[in-house]
Structure 1
C-alpha cells in the first residue's frame, strides 16, 4: 500500500535539516580553538545539534507521510533512534578532533556518522506501531545507506573546513543548504525503500492524518532544545568565552589576543601610532608589598588608561606591567602629546590598601603602517624606544629612530656572542686602586671585568653587564671574575703585596642560592685568606628579599669575607635597613663627588659619614679625579677614596708599573 506526503511539512523538514546543519557547523568551528574541558563541551554541543537535528528532520518527515492507517510510535525505540544519531555524531567529531588528521580518521568518523544515521532512520521506522507489515526494497535500502555514508563524509569535510576557519558568511550557509538537502535525500530515499503491506479486512483512514501526540511533542521539544543549545552556545561563546579570551581579567582592558585581532583588521596604508608603556617601579612594589598589591596597582593603572579609549585608539594590557596604546591615523606630534598626557596621569599617587604609592611610567613610540612593516616590527621598535626612555631616566617617552635600530642590532649581536666569550677566553680583569688619604697608602683594589670582543674590540661593561643580568649569564661570568680576582690576589700576596681585592655581585647570585659555595670554591681554589676578599653589593638589592639577603650575607661574613655597599645613595633608599644589613663599608657614588661644590651635597655626605661612624662602617668615595675633591672629602671626614686621580682600572702588568710610582707621594709596602 502507498502513502502520500504533506509537502508543507516536507519543506519544514528540509528547513530543519538546513538550520541544524548551520548550527552544527557554527558550533564545531570552535573545537580547534578550544582546550581542555571546553573542547569536549563544543564536541557534545555539536554532536547533540547534529544528531538531534537529523532525528528531528526524520520524524518531521514521518509526520508529513500519511499511510491512511492508525500509526503510533514505540517510545523506547524512538528514543534509541535519537541516541544512536547523537552518539554516532560524537564519535565522528571525537575521531576527527585533532588539528592534524589523516584520511583514516576521516574514514572512521564518516563510517560511524553514516552508520548512526542509518541506525537512527531504520530504528525510527521500526518504532512505528501500525496494522501493516513493513518490508524494504533492497535496492533503495542500499542506496539510502550509501547516501547516508556520503552525507556523513561531506558533513565531516565541511566541519573540518569550517573548524579551522572563522568564516561565517554565505559560504557556511551554502554548505548548510547542501548538507540539509543531502540528509533529506537520505531520509526520503529510505522512505522510498519502505514497502507497507496491508491485509484483508484492514480499515483505511481516508480522513485527516492521525498524528501521534508523543511524536509531535517529542519533535517540538527536540527542536526547542536544538535552538536552546545553539543559542546558548553562541551566547556562551560571545559573552563568556569571548570575554575570557580577549579581555584581561585584572584590568578589564583588551588583552594580547584582542590586540592581534585589532591588527588583523587594520592592514593597509593607514598610519598607526604604537605607544608601549611599562611601569618603572613595578617590580620593587611587587617584591616588597606583595603580588596582591601589584595586581591592584595594575588594575588602577588600567582604570586610568580606559578613558583614553576612543574610536580611533585603543589601550591593551599585553602582560605584567606592560600596556600598549594603538592610535589610528597618528602622526609623531599627536603620539607625543598623548604620551605626555598618559605619563602625567600615571604618575599621580595611588592609594591602595593603606599604601600611598608613587609610580611612573616609560613610553616608547613607534609610527608606521602595516603595509610598510608588520606588527612585530612596530611592537619591537616601540619596545626598543621604551627601554631607551627608561635609560634616559624613566618617567619619559621616546620616539623610535634608526639609530636605536642600530643599537638594537648591536645588542642582539652582543647577546649572541656573550655566551661564547667565556669559553674563548675573551674576558679579562682590570684592577682600580683604593687609596687611604689619612695614611697616604694603598687600601686595596677593585676587580672589574672587561670584554675584548674579537671583532668589536673592547666592549664597555655598561653594554654587556645589563645583557648578562637579563639573560642570567651574569652568574657564570661572576664565578669566573671571582676566581680570577682571588687567583691574582694570591699571586700578589706571594709576591709580598698583601692587599684585599673586591668583586661586584649581582642580585642574580643571591637568587641562584649558590653564592656561599661559589665564594668558598674560589677561595679554596686560589688558597686565599677570606679577609683579603671583599664583595660589593648594590643598594637596590635589599628590596628583593631582605631576610634572604641578610641570611646569605651573614654566612659570607662568617667566613671572614668583607662586604661593602656600592653606589650608596643612588638607588632605593636603604638607610632604614642599614642596621640590619651585615656590611663593613659604604661606597659613595660619584654622583656626590662630582657635585661637591653644592652645599646640600656636602651636608648629605657629612651626614652619611657621621651615620657610618655610628654604625662602625667605613666610607669609600668613588669618582675622585682632582685635589679639590680630595680636600672637600677629607674635610667631610671621608678618608678612603677611589678614582682616576689615584689610578684608572689597570691590567695586572700595568698595576706593576703603577706600584713603582704611587700617587701623591704615597707608598706601597711590598714585603
Structure 2
C-alpha cells in the first residue's frame, strides 16, 4: 500500500527532536553538579523532557505520514510508548550522574537511550488501529536500531565530555543535533522498514487521526516548554540561591567556591586567603548560637567591601571564610590580609553586647588548575593554623618551611600510633632537692621519644600531637607503670623517694584514672605516698567539679597531687582552696630576673599563700647558686632544675645516686 510524507512537518519533527534533546541534556547536565534532592529534581526533569521529546517527535512524524485509510490509536499503548521513552531516559541519565564515569557505563547509558527510542517507536506503531496489517523489513528494522544505539552513544559521549565547560556550549548543540538525528533517523528508517497490507484502497478520513495526534503532540510540547522554562527559572532564581549562597551572610558558599574553581581553571596565579575567627566558639557557647549567627552576619557584611572584579569572598562553613584573589602576588595578599584583620577586629554591637573578635589568616599562592586546587586550599589551611600558633590575630604566608613542618607533624602523628608498640619511648628522671635538709626530695618522671629516623623528638613537639590524637592516654599509662616499677626498684635499694608523673586532661576524661592508679600500685606493691601525680592549672577549665571529685578519690588512696607550672595557667586563685592538692610547683618563669623586687614580691606572696593553705612549694628552673640563694631567702626550700641534674635515664640516675652525698 502506498504512503507519502508532508516534508514541512518532517522538518518540524526534526527541529522538535533537536530542541528537546538540547533542553533535556542541559537539564541533565545539572545532575552531576548537585546533591541530595536537587539531584533528583534535575534527573526527573531531564528524563521527562527527553522522554516527551522522543515521543512528540514520533507523533509529529506520524502527522506527516499519509495513507489512504482511516487510522486511530490505542490510548493505552500510546501512553505506554511515552512511558518507555521516559524510563529509558531516566536510566540513561541516572547512569551518567557521577562527575567521572567509566567507558562501560557510558556505553550502557547509550544502550538504554537507544532502547528507549526503539521501544517508543515500535510500541507507538503497534498502537495504530486500522484496517491493515503491518510487517517489517528485518534489515531496515535492524538498521533503525543500530542508528538509535550509535547516535545515542555519540551524543551522550560528547555531552558528558563537555557538560561542565560553559565555553563549549556549541558542542552541547552538536550533542543535541546528534541525539535528534538518533531519534529522527531511527523513526524514518523504522517507517521505511514498515510494510502495510490492505486488500482495498480507502479514502483517508483526516479528522479523527489529525485531531488526536495534534492535541497529544501540542500538550506534550507544552510539557517540554513548561518543564524546561520552569527548570531554568528555578535554577536561576531559587535553587541557585539555595545551593550557592550562604543563608546567614548572603555570601557565596562552598558550592559556589567549587564552581568558581571549575570555571577559572588556568595557569593564572591565584591568591587564597583562609580566614578563621579566633574566639568565635567562646562567644557561641556563652551567648548562644543565635548571637553567634548575628556575629557571623556582621563579619560577612564587613567582608563584602573586599569583593570586586578580581576578588571574591566565600563563607565555607562555621566561622571560616575564604577570599580568592585573581592575578595575585605575595605582597598584594599580605596587604589585603592586614586590611581584613583590621576590619574584623573592630568592636561589634550585637543586641546590646559589645563583642570583640579577631581572626587568623593563612595565605597560599599558586596556579588554579584542577590538580593544584586542593593543594592551594590545604596550604592556606596549614598557614592559618600556623598563624594561630604564633599568637592569633595575624596572617601567615605559606612557604616551604611551613610545608616541611607540616609534613613532619603528619609523619610524627602517624608514627606515634606504633611508637609505644615498638618500644621507642623511655622515661627520664629529674631529681628534686631539699635545700634545708641537703637531701634528695624525689624525682619527676618525664617521657622521651627516641624516633628511629629523627632521633630524640622534643616533648614540646610530640606531646601536643599525642594530646590531639588521644595517644597520650596509653602513653601516660605506660609512664605511670614504669615510674612505679622503677620507684619500687629504688625503694628496694634504700632510696625511698616519691616519683611524680604528669597527667593529661585526657586521663580525667577517660573516667578510669582512679582504677588505673589503684591497679598499678597493687601490681607493683608500691606504697601510695611514693607516687605523685602532677596536674596543670588549665585543666580546671574543663569540668572543675568532676576533676575535684576524681582528685579526691585519688588522694584517698594516699597518692599525692601537685599543681605543675603554677602561675602560667588560667585558673583563679580564688578556687585554689577547692582543688585537692598537696604541692604547688612554681613555673620556671619565676626564676627569670629573680633578683628584681617585683619578682620577689610575687614569689613571696605565693609562698605565704601556700603556707596558709598548708601546701608545699617546689621551684622549677633552678640553674645556679644565685637562684638557690634568693629562693631560700624567700622561704622556698625544695627545688628542681639543671643545677641539681638534667633529666636522666635510669642508668645515669643510678650513677648519679652513687656520687651524690646525702648532705651538701
Q: What is the TM-score normalised by the length of structure 1? A: 0.83
Alpha-carbon distance in 2 for matches of 1:470, 1:531? 31
Alignment equivalent of 2:582, drawn from 580, 584, 608: 584
Are 2:144 and 1:147 aligned? yes
Alpha-carbon distance in 1 for matches of 2:513, 2:281? 23
Alpha-carbon distance in 1 for matches of 2:211, 2:598? 97
CA contact (8 A) 1:95 1:106 kept: no
Alpha-carbon distance in 2 for matches of 1:161, 1:500? 78
What does residue 499 of structure 2 align with? Answer: 501
Are 2:645 and 1:647 aligned? yes
CA contact (8 A) 2:151 2:181 kept: no
Please report how far the alpha carbon of residue 64 of structure 1 lies from its aligned counterpart in structure 2 after TM superposition. Answer: 3.2
Residue 12 of structure 2 aligns to a residue whose secondary structure is: helix
What does residue 271 of structure 2 align with? Answer: 273
CA contact (8 A) 1:287 1:543 kept: no
Alignment of 1:44-83 (within 5 A): 44-67=44-67, 73-83=73-83
Which segment is superposed worse, 83-92 or 236-245? 236-245
Alignment equivalent of 1:159, drawn from 151, 156, 160: 156
CA contact (8 A) 1:287 1:544 kept: no
Which segment is superposed worse, 529-538 or 340-349? 340-349
CA contact (8 A) 2:158 2:172 kept: no
Residue 374 of structure 1 aligns to a residue whose secondary structure is: helix
Alpha-carbon distance in 2 for matches of 1:502, 1:290? 41
Please report how far the alpha carbon of residue 55 of structure 1 lies from its aligned counterpart in structure 2 after TM superposition. Answer: 1.0
Alignment of 1:413-428 (within 5 A): 413-428=411-426
Please report how far the alpha carbon of residue 484 of structure 1 lies from its aligned counterpart in structure 2 after TM superposition. Answer: 1.6
CA contact (8 A) 2:144 2:187 kept: no
Which segment is superposed worse, 8-17 or 287-296? 287-296
Alpha-carbon distance in 2 for matches of 1:355, 1:592? 38
Distance 1:175 1:396, change over 3 A: closer
Alignment equivalent of 2:460, drawn from 455, 459, 462: 462
CA deviations 1:331-387 (Å, max 9, x no partner) are 333322222222233334456678765443333333444589934544454444444
Please report how far the alpha carbon of residue 177 of structure 1 lies from its aligned counterpart in structure 2 after TM superposition. Answer: 0.7
Alpha-carbon distance in 1 for matches of 2:343, 2:463? 33
Distance 1:425 1:169, change over 3 A: same
CA contact (8 A) 1:28 1:159 kept: no
CA contact (8 A) 2:431 2:441 kept: yes
Alignment equivalent of 2:341, drawn from 343, 349, 354: 343
CA deviations 1:25-48 (Å, max 9, x no partner) are 223334455555555444433322
Alpha-carbon distance in 2 for matches of 1:31, 1:390? 40
Alpha-carbon distance in 2 for matches of 1:476, 1:529? 23
Please report how far the alpha carbon of residue 151 of structure 1 lies from its aligned counterpart in structure 2 after TM superposition. Answer: 1.0
Alpha-carbon distance in 1 for matches of 2:560, 2:418? 32
Alpha-carbon distance in 2 for matches of 1:518, 1:489? 17
Distance 1:399 1:79, change over 3 A: closer
Please report how far the alpha carbon of residue 54 of structure 1 lies from its aligned counterpart in structure 2 after TM superposition. Answer: 1.0
Residue 447 of structure 2 aligns to a residue whose secondary structure is: strand
Are 2:370 and 1:364 aligned? no
Alpha-carbon distance in 2 for matches of 1:34, 1:26? 13
Alpha-carbon distance in 2 for matches of 1:221, 1:56? 9
Please report how far the alpha carbon of residue 418 of structure 1 lies from its aligned counterpart in structure 2 after TM superposition. Answer: 3.9
What does residue 562 of structure 1 align with? Answer: 560
Alignment equivalent of 1:215, drawn from 193, 213, 216: 213
Distance 1:34 1:134, change over 3 A: farther
What does residue 517 of structure 2 align with? Answer: 519
What does residue 23 of structure 1 align with? Answer: 23
Alignment equivalent of 1:474, drawn from 451, 472, 476: 472
CA deviations 1:43-93 (Å, max 9, x no partner) are 433322221111111222233345577665554443333223223433455
Please report how far the alpha carbon of residue 481 of structure 1 lies from its aligned counterpart in structure 2 after TM superposition. Answer: 1.7
Alpha-carbon distance in 1 for matches of 2:299, 2:634? 44
Distance 1:608 1:403, change over 3 A: same
CA deviations 1:577-606 (Å, max 9, x no partner) are 545544333333223432545666555555
Distance 1:636 1:311, change over 3 A: farther
Alpha-carbon distance in 2 for matches of 1:120, 1:587? 86
Please tell me the root mean square deviation across aligned C-alpha atoms, in Å: 4.0
What does residue 483 of structure 2 align with? Answer: 485
Distance 1:265 1:37, change over 3 A: closer
Q: What is the TM-score normalised by the length of structure 2? A: 0.84
Please report how far the alpha carbon of residue 326 of structure 1 lies from its aligned counterpart in structure 2 after TM superposition. Answer: 2.9
Alpha-carbon distance in 2 for matches of 1:615, 1:162? 80
Please report how far the alpha carbon of residue 525 of structure 1 lies from its aligned counterpart in structure 2 after TM superposition. Answer: 3.2
Alpha-carbon distance in 2 for matches of 1:55, 1:25? 16
CA deviations 1:455-474 (Å, max 9, x no partner) are 54433222222233333332
Residue 484 of structure 1 aligns to a residue whose secondary structure is: helix
Are 2:389 and 1:391 aligned? yes
CA contact (8 A) 1:111 1:149 kept: no
CA deviations 1:511-564 (Å, max 9, x no partner) are 444434443343333222222222222333333344544444344334333333
Q: Which runs of 5+ in 1 are unaligned?
A: none
What does residue 184 of structure 1 align with? Answer: 184
Tell me the number of residue pairs that the alignment of Structure 1 and Structure 2 aligns. 659
What does residue 225 of structure 1 align with? Answer: 223
Distance 1:516 1:383, change over 3 A: same
What does residue 195 of structure 1 align with? Answer: 196
Distance 1:179 1:620, change over 3 A: same
CA contact (8 A) 1:436 1:640 kept: yes
What does residue 135 of structure 1 align with? Answer: 133
Alignment equivalent of 2:529, drawn from 515, 526, 531: 531
CA contact (8 A) 1:288 1:544 kept: no
